[in-house]
Structure 1
């Protein structure tokens, strides 16, 4: 079942699987309504390293991911990514070709985000913005990602960097 918002950018979907974020009083057989969001992430590389940012969930826990975020109504993927990079790591950026996607099923709220991933280059050194819940950044080889890297991001980086190695 889908409900479109007036601008069409957010949909509600019925997820028949049990969800870790469901309250304990809700039986596992009850379907959960999850918000379906669309976002953009930047795949920024330097030699054999990829740029990751450390972010903080609302509950205070931290995780590592590619920089980027949600597309606002009427915003293109490229405009979203340029805005998010300015907000999160205070960098002007050039956005290139789309190189993939990843799906993240949030555990801190009932939402799933489908991220389009684009090659990007930065116009300055990253400077994390704590007001955007971005605590740190790191340039890491794909074989040495931080343990708290989100699984879909880790899989994407591994596939992308392995494919690049095969092309050399």
Structure 2
């Protein structure tokens, strides 16, 4: 499993904790994916024009031998298994799984852009990833800087909810 990937996840509909746990079970069950680190859960305010409930967000560091587009299809299938409906852009959802970083690659296809194009605009992505990345992660300094910039604007709220003892 040679690809190092950072995934952001979130939920704000239904049984939020159960949605996230179901996704983690499905990811763990895939023999081509190994979760290496998991962040704590964070309560976050939604970003965008849609009025909705707060989210619970977090991040995963994983290894996989899937190509990026293959992994995207796996993540979208997991979202569907958790009853994700894409009715309102940036609207409420049972589960959202996004590939943020895939190795150190940068590319754009009609279906996928790496790094995720909105990652550096969202505390709910950056704070959990900073928690689980190592000191030598190629985006660590940029993430730290952007967290400071976003926190200075005070437009996004993020609150750590709990530690995750994932045994990794």
TM-score interval (norm. to shorter)? 0.3 to 0.5
* TM-score normalised per structure 2: 0.36
Structure with more relative contact order (C-alpha pairs < 8 Å, separation 6 or more): 2
The structure richer in helix per residue is 2
- Calculate the TM-score normalised by the size of structure 1: 0.36
Report which of the two structures shows the higher radius of gyration computed on alpha carbons: 1
